[in-house]
Structure 1
């Protein structure tokens, strides 16, 4: 299925749109919180958000994976806000998970669906043995289309 997702505030044909592509002859990735592909229109400017870990604004980092994921997405939202962007403008996520397993995937999938709803970006999950600092268990980076 291919669907255009409007990102403008008004229903105007000139609004920039990301086009989400989930081909019917491929596995449907939406239950897992991502889309197969996302097309950015030619007029779209891109911003790249560096990896956001689970540190709060004081630098504190919980040892709990779910808490780190929640804080990472709050940090991503703060970065989007600073760009004047919204979650539905995110075209691509790359997430890094220390010692990945299915229970961590469930936590991540819930967080992604909560933040992005039905406008699921393309996404790649990279299992890693460790991240930049020892207590980090999760990190998310994003490619965002700016209006």
Structure 2
């Protein structure tokens, strides 16, 4: 074995032996010039040194009484309240979200503006996650118009 291989092995083992509390996740959000200019999201997020991945199930805008408000803006507000609660339970917040999938019912026939405004308001400047928007014919409960699932990294 040559000295470069030995050095590589020593450094690799040293990195693995760093106590978990000493490594911090570094999130790098990129928008390469050759991809379209994103509005409200990042084209890619690189999570280096990830200690914990948090997967939040799809959250919808369901009121505390179990009813689904008719208004898309109200559903969006309730949905982001629930996402914030779920992230906080894991010690995370909006800035830690690296990916989200947005499901909107009848996307071609409704105005999704309240959802997009909610997304822009929820995530801090410079901390937009990657994002996919999917138009669907229905969600879990009658009247649900939007649902979002997120993944966060700490």
TM-score normalised by the chain length of structure 1: 0.82
Q: Which residue number in structure 1 is paired with residue 152 of structure 2?
A: 144
Q: Which residue of 90, 104, 108 maps to 2:97? A: 90
Q: Which residue of 26, 51, 64 maps to 1:57? A: 64
Shift of 1:56: 2.1
Q: Which residue number in structure 1 is paired with residue 33 of structure 2?
A: 24
Q: Which residue number in structure 1 is paired with residue 79 of structure 2?
A: 72
- How many Å separate the matches in 2 of 1:102 and 1:37? 29
Q: CA RMSD in A?
A: 1.8
Structure 2: stretches of 5+ with no match in the other structure: 1-22
Shift of 1:109: 1.8
CA contact (8 A) 2:59 2:147 kept: yes
CA contact (8 A) 1:65 1:104 kept: no
Structure 1 residues 93, 102: closer, same or farther in 2, change over 3 A?
farther
Structure 1: stretches of 5+ with no match in the other structure: 1-13
- How many Å separate the matches in 2 of 1:26 and 1:142? 22
Task: Return the structure number with greater helix share.
Answer: 2
- Per-residue CA deviation, residues 76-133 of structure 1 (Å, 9 max, x unaligned), is 0111111110110000000100011486332222111111022110010010000011
Shift of 1:61: 1.4
Q: Which residue number in structure 1 is paired with residue 128 of structure 2?
A: 120
Task: Return the structure number with greater strand share.
Answer: 1
Q: Report the 3-state secondary structure (helix = DSSP H, G, I; strand = E; otherwise coil) of the residue aligned with 1:70.
A: helix
